[in-house]
Structure 1
Amino acid sequence: MSQTPTRADFDHYMVPNYAPQQAVPVRGEGSRLWDQEGREYIDFAGGIAVNGLGHCHPVLVEALTAQANRLWHLSNVYTNEPALALARSLVERTFADKVYLCSSGGEANEAALKLARRWAHDHHGEHKHRIVSFSQSFHGRTFFTVSVGGQPKYAQGFGPVPGGIVHGEYNDLDSVRNLIDDDTCAVMVEPMQGEGGIIPAVPEFLQGLRDLCDAFDALLIFDEVQTGAGRTGSLYAYQQYGVTPDILTSAKSLGGGFPVGAMLTTDRVAKAFAIGTHGSTYGGNPLASAVALAAVEFIDTPEVLEGVKHRHDLFREHLEAINRQHGVFREIRGMGLLIGAEMAPAYEGRARDILPLALEEGLMALIAGPNVLRMAPSLVIPEADIAEGMARLERAVARLVAGQ
């Protein structure tokens, strides 16, 4: 580079579909980041629940560096050792018999939906193609996944959406009973809605979906792109609920920051993806697979997963203390280290206003819709960073309350 890029370069050169903050981070270590000016931040955002082990974790750096000196890419004309090792590790740790690797959560969900329709087509015929999803759900940005997602704003302006998709109300089993029928091929659900506001499923709701799918010979798809890979305190959230899906999708923390996605399923269902029915140019990439394998093996340990649950309690205690002082939150909810603080009526729709104030105080956070402050930090964030980050958040909230 002949000159150092600046935030102004984004507006000049990049397509304007994002509105990034003014700070440009250039270095990260653990749960801390530094920008171009050398200013330090504590990271409660985690790259939107992606950096499961923080920034530049030595285990992931070692895996990436070692693989980078061996083999980068082959295509799916060949297989490779890291991809096979990752698939085996995921199968051994979950309900699944088979794994499909890709590059993102959107790709994983696209594959899951196509697989469900193909399976139903092969077993029941063309009529069985209906998909049930839920209002306020989010499943990715491909045209199919934004159509299945329950937030119409993401599909507006792109023309007619695919047919055969209906939406029930999350945590309302009766709404699903009114939609599911013999033409339904799948029900797709997040065990905890992420973009929809950090709303955990009621256990009876997920079990009810399992029972309805069994009754109508439909497939149950769990979108665990955001909840998976240790985020909720288990390797996957379905394990905490005791409800097993037919298909599960994973991404985000699966690669610890390296782009990777996976779709997990059973032998019964996987057979529908015969040779040539689906593919991904970078799926099973050796670099991504090596990093993901290291992430899974590090995360799926009692020390990390129990630590997630302990850190959840710390986050909740700090948020409740801030709320006792300032009264800005109506409810604090979530599982593990995916936590949402819904704004109180007096601050309705103002979660976004906290983000630039927090950044000025040296804290990176997220929102989940206009009314929920979201936190998805590293699963191994040090307790000292939690305390300091919450002190910075309290100062930002105080400024919001004061009208600054």
Structure 2
Amino acid sequence: MNLEEQDKQYVLQTYTRDYTNFVKGVGSTLYDDKGKDYIDFASGIGVNSVGHGNETLTAALCEQAKNIIHISNLQVIEPQAKLAQKIVELSGYDMGVFFANSGAEANEGAIKIARKYGETKFDYKRFKVITLEHSFHGRTITTVKATGQESFHTPNFSPYPDGFSYEKSIEDVYKAIDDETVAVLIELVQGEGGVQPFEKEEIQKLAAHLKSEAILLIVDEVQTGVYRTGEFLASNLYEIEPDIITLAKGLGGGVPIGAVMTKHKEILSAGDHGSTFGGNYLSTTAGLAVLDVLHPLYDNGIIDETLVYFSQKLQEIVSKYNHLFEKEVGLGLMRGLRAKSADIQGNVIKNCMSEGVIVLKAGRNTVRFLPSITISKNEIDEGFKRFEKAISSL
């Protein structure tokens, strides 16, 4: 039985898989079991923030695994406390942190905080959460319902939780607020929705309005956080101060971790929320190692240099292949090329795999790029050389 047969027989088929079998990664290069190398412009959908085989991360994980991998959250966990402090300090916000295992779990925690805020801070119950069309917030029953894409709300998993609505634009949010609204949940750059950033001024205006109405602003930074947009948080880039922020993906460098942070540190009490695995020794040690790698790169301007260089490459592609792509979209190292049709998008992604460069699909016919934050200029050059070869025949 080969690997593909094994997978199809024993693994639930919830993914449309490519059956390339990767066996090794170095930096932003992956190698399959036949020895072919691939430039990785996907980083595990924005997870491998320090690339593959990073020495600092792997050394920290090996050392921690020799001692303690996991204990329960009924005891204090030293790297968890240290990572919480580090995240808060890097954010520049006065917040507390709860650790989970994924972005969906972090968003679940954010919604629970908002619901309890709505229950305890007003004379009458507030529970409604407004999100935006084209948003994506997770795959649990609640976060699927919070996702503003009707294709996710199939009857197969109904009934869904009440209390969510979706607006087409930021301007529509104002009209949707009523006396039962407790929070607005947004991504500053919609990832699955087409790598689409919002305008800084409209976000700042919304944040000020929500603050004046005592309505919570929740920013989903599962994909945008941990230097993906150039700053530690996209919220920093937009110069706003959310009430709640969620993180995951790049924080662990490949080890599952999620985090919800809030300035309303008094809302949750003992027993209100929990996680068996969340914030354990292994995952929070990984988070500390990732930040030990990335923060100096940010301080020294290297992340800025990388994102500018990557953007220049994308602009060259759009200029040269304007019969395939309408424009470049995104921020930092969360980028996309808006293809002129779904067929073009599909063919680009397929051809790229054949040519040894990995890219992703996103909404609005977007070819998505989420390289590691540590990707080198040589890897960028080689990746775009292969990308151009992949699209030259289209």
Residue deviations 1:110-130, cap 9 Å, x none?
Answer: 000111111110111563101
Counterpart contact for 1:21–1:356, Cα < 8 Å: no
Contact 2:50–2:293 (Cα < 8 Å) also in 1: no
The aligned runs of 1:287-366 (5 Å cut-off) are 287-303=282-298, 306-327=301-322, 328-344=324-340, 347-366=341-360
Q: Following TM superposition, by how much is the alpha carbon of 1:216 offset from its aligned partner in structure 2, in angstroms?
A: 2.1
* Cα deviation, residue 56, structure 1: 1.4
Deviation at 1:348, TM superposition (A): 4.2
Counterpart residue number, 1:377: 371
* Partners of 2:82 and 2:180 in 1: CA distance: 38
In 1, distance between residues paired with 2:189 and 2:68? 37
The one-letter code of the counterpart of 1:213 is L
Instruction: Please name the residue that 2:240 is paired with.
Output: 243
Aligned to 1:271: 266
Q: Which amino acid aligns with 2:82?
A: A
Name the CA shift for 1:240/1:35 in 2 (closer, same or farther; >3 Å).
Answer: same
CA distance in 2, matches of 1:165, 1:212: 20
TM-score, with structure 1 as normaliser: 0.93
User: Is 1:164 the equivalent of 2:193?
Assistant: no
Distance 1:379 1:356 in 2: 24
Unaligned segments of structure 2, at least 5 residues: none
Match of 1:143 in 2: 141
Q: How many corresponding residue pairs?
A: 391
The separation in 1 between residues aligned to 2:118 and 2:356, in whole angstroms, is: 51
Q: In the alignment, is the contact (CA less than 8 A) between 1:232 and 1:308 conserved in 2?
A: no
* SS state at 1:178 partner: helix
Q: Distance in 2 between matches of 1:214 and 1:235?
A: 23
Does residue 364 of structure 2 align to residue 367 of structure 1? Answer: no
Is the 2:338–2:364 contact (alpha carbons within 8 Å) kept by the matching residues of 1? no
- Is structure 2 residue 96 aligned with structure 1 residue 102? no
Query: Is 2:207 aligned against 1:210?
Result: yes
RMSD over aligned Cα atoms? 1.6
Q: What is aligned with 2:75?
A: 78
Contact 2:298–2:304 (CA<8 Å) still a contact in 1?
Answer: no
The equivalent of 1:134 in structure 2 is 132
Aligned partner letter, 1:168: E
CA shift for structure 1 position 321: 2.5
Counterparts of 1:351 and 1:139, CA distance in 2: 23
User: Structure 1 runs of 4+ off > 4 angstroms?
Assistant: 302-305
CA contact under 8 A between 2:318 and 2:328: conserved in structure 1?
no
**Per-residue Cα deviation, 1:276-330 (whole angstroms, up to 9, x for no partner):** 1111110111000001011123212354773333222222322232333332110
TM-score, scaled to structure 2: 0.95
Unaligned runs of 5+ in 1: none
Counterpart of 1:280, as a letter, is: S
Q: Using the alignment, how far apart are the partners of 2:229 and 2:5 within structure 1?
A: 37
Match of 2:12 among 11, 15, 18: 15
Say if 2:224 and 2:233, in contact at 8 Å, map to a contact too: yes
Residue in 2 that maps onto 1:394: 388
